[in-house]
């Protein structure tokens, strides 16, 4: 059985990254536009933060779609 990675929100320095992770925890899956709209970020800033979370391994794509989901547990 594969152990799930987890992240504690208080260890993150970026409040908007925390906000995105909390949104993803409550929604389950979201597309870029929904994340950007819900967090009231500009498109470029939202895209930058989403890419950062993808690169850190905190988010992942759902299959071959444009939907994103958490790749870690959030505490």
**Predicted local confidence at residue 1, as pLDDT:** 43
* Pairing of the two strands 73-74 and 6-7: parallel
pTM across the whole model: 0.90
Domains of the chain: 6-74 (1.10.10.10)
**Predicted local confidence at residue 50, as pLDDT:** 97
Matching residue, tokens 């925890």:
25
Task: Please write the tens of the pLDDT for every residue from 21-71.
Answer: 999 999 999 999 999 999 999 999 999 999 999 999 999 999 988 899 999
Identify the DSSP state of 4: P
């Amino acid at each position: 059985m594969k152990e799930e990675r987890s992240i504690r929100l208080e260890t993150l320095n970026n409040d908007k990254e925390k906000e995105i992770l909390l949104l993803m925890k409550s929604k389950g899956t979201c597309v870029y536009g929904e994340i950007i709209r819900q967090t009231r970020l500009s498109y470029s800033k939202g895209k930058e933060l989403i890419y950062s979370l993808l690169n850190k391994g905190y988010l992942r794509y759902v299959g071959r779609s444009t939907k994103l989901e958490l790749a870690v547990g959030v505490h």
